[in-house]
Amino acid sequence: MAMAVYTEVSDDDLRSFVAQYDLGAVVSCKGIAEGVENSNYLLVTETGPFILTLYEKRVDPADLPFFLGLMEHLSARGVTCPLPVRGRDGEALRSLCGRPAVIVTFLAGMWPRRIQPEHCAALGEGLARLHLAGADFPLRRANALSLDGWRTLHDATHGRADAVKPGLAAALTAELAELERRWPADLPCGVIHADLFPDNVFFRDGALSGLIDFYFACNDILAYDVAVCLNAWCFEADGSFNVTKARLMLASYMKVRPLSAAELEALPLLARGSALRFLLTRLYDWLNTPAGALVKRKDPLEYLHKLRFHQQVRGIGEYGLTLPAGAA
Ligand SMILES: Nc1ncnc2c1ncn2[C@@H]1O[C@H](COP(=O)(O)OP(=O)(O)O)[C@@H](O)[C@H]1O
Ligand SMILES: N[C@@H](CCOP(=O)(O)O)C(=O)O
């Protein structure tokens, strides 16, 4: 089981931290044993439940104004996501146990353990709304996990990749070279979530109730975010691609934000890039996380399989769509 409470917060430290807010006294505070990046606590005060997050090493503190500002921006535009809570001094970001720390609002709902086609339809709409709401967000953050980042991860894993699967090192080298050559330069860009996996999307009574975990958000190709979701939501546990889920996801996305013919045509390539991104980060973690560590390592080869699928896709018909009439 994933486990990510890294920092222990003493009762005294917690009490004086929470005293800087208008939230009333602490009722309880419990580490959340889920997630991999930060230390999260379910903090209950006299005014209700909140999430207390301490940022561990993987988040660059310089990026926090982008992430926190984005959550405020999206919340203000009707995208349900955690809202950073400001203290009496007006600041949301402060320090606890030597780490950057924030309190954000608690979102009701559960992430779907068994993905149904209806989840994919709701996700498509939610993703498109996120893209529209992010359009006028003024801050900028480059995607650290695009081509340059993949090259760094490729080089850091190359020597040991074949220990995970014979031939993997060469397969990664060839794929990265092709993506570097063919990666699109002129597709619409904006704020993307970049990690909108099922465990970051909450549902309540069958409806999407909120999006969390904006710590990979950045400015990049909007359709790349769609490709991330195709990979994360539309494959079954046995590795088969569920074209019904893909069609529903894409169709409901397009009702809110139509995809151009160029975006649709680029989808197979963007999906390959997205598969390579998660393959490389998982491979890096696989090779660098001690086997006995509390954090569960995610299977890199799941994403090799997804990459292979998109490599043989000949057109978006295989994602359940047809190109708009008259498109080149
Ligand atoms: N605002 C929130 N409201 C409710 N639960 C949350 C909220 N933020 C995080 N959680 C809970 O904490 C878990 C881990 O959060 P996440 O941001 O995904 O952490 P990580 O970045 O470490 O993976 C989530 O699966 C969820 O159960
Ligand atoms: N979604 C990534 C891992 C990042 O984990 P998260 O808990 O921050 O969503 C993957 O599946 O490899």
- ipTM value for the complex: 0.94
Total residue length of the chain? 328
Question: 200-215 burial, b for 16+ CB within 10 Å, e for fewer?
Answer: bbbbeeeebbbbbbbb
User: What pLDDT is stored for residue 263 in this prediction?
Assistant: 97
Instruction: Tell me the ligand closest to 32's alpha carbon.
Output: 1
Does 278 contact ligand 2 (Cβ within 6 A)? Answer: yes
Q: Which residues does the chain have with pLDDT short of 50?
A: 1-3, 328
User: What pLDDT is stored for residue 297 in this prediction?
Assistant: 84
Does 198 contact ligand 2 (Cβ within 6 A)? Answer: no
Half-sphere exposure of 121 (CA within 13 A, CB side): 7
Please give the backbone phi and psi of residue 96, each rounded to the nearest 5 degrees, phi first: -145, 130
Q: Give the start-to-end residue ranges of the domains of the chain.
A: 11-105, 117-319
Strand partners, 45: 26, 48
- Please name the residue that has the structure tokens 């990664």: 172
User: What pLDDT is stored for residue 2 in this prediction?
Assistant: 40
The ligand 2 atom at the shortest distance from the C-alpha of residue 37 is: 8
3-class DSSP assignment, residue 39? strand
Q: Give nearest CA residue, ligand 1 atom 10.
A: 51
Distance 79 CA to ligand 1 centre (A): 17
Query: 97: left (phi > 0), else alpha (psi -120 to 50), else beta?
Result: left
User: What pLDDT is stored for residue 309 in this prediction?
Assistant: 98
CATH 3.40.50.720 fits 11-105, yes or no: no
Q: Angle between the 222-233 and 117-133 helix axes, to the nearest 10 degrees?
A: 160
The ligand 2 atom at the shortest distance from the C-alpha of residue 215 is: 8
Please give the backbone phi and psi of residue 108, each rounded to the nearest 5 degrees, phi first: -75, 155
User: What pLDDT is stored for residue 57 in this prediction?
Assistant: 82
User: What pLDDT is stored for residue 41 in this prediction?
Assistant: 96
Is this model's pTM higher than 0.90 or not? yes
User: What pLDDT is stored for residue 324 in this prediction?
Assistant: 64
Distance 244 CA to ligand 1 centre (A): 29
User: What pLDDT is stored for residue 158 in this prediction?
Assistant: 98
CATH number of this structure's domain 117-319, picked from the four choices 3.30.470.30, 3.40.640.10, 3.90.1200.10, 3.30.565.10: 3.90.1200.10
User: What pLDDT is stored for residue 1 in this prediction?
Assistant: 33
The ligand 1 atom at the shortest distance from the C-alpha of residue 107 is: 3
User: What pLDDT is stored for residue 22 in this prediction?
Assistant: 98
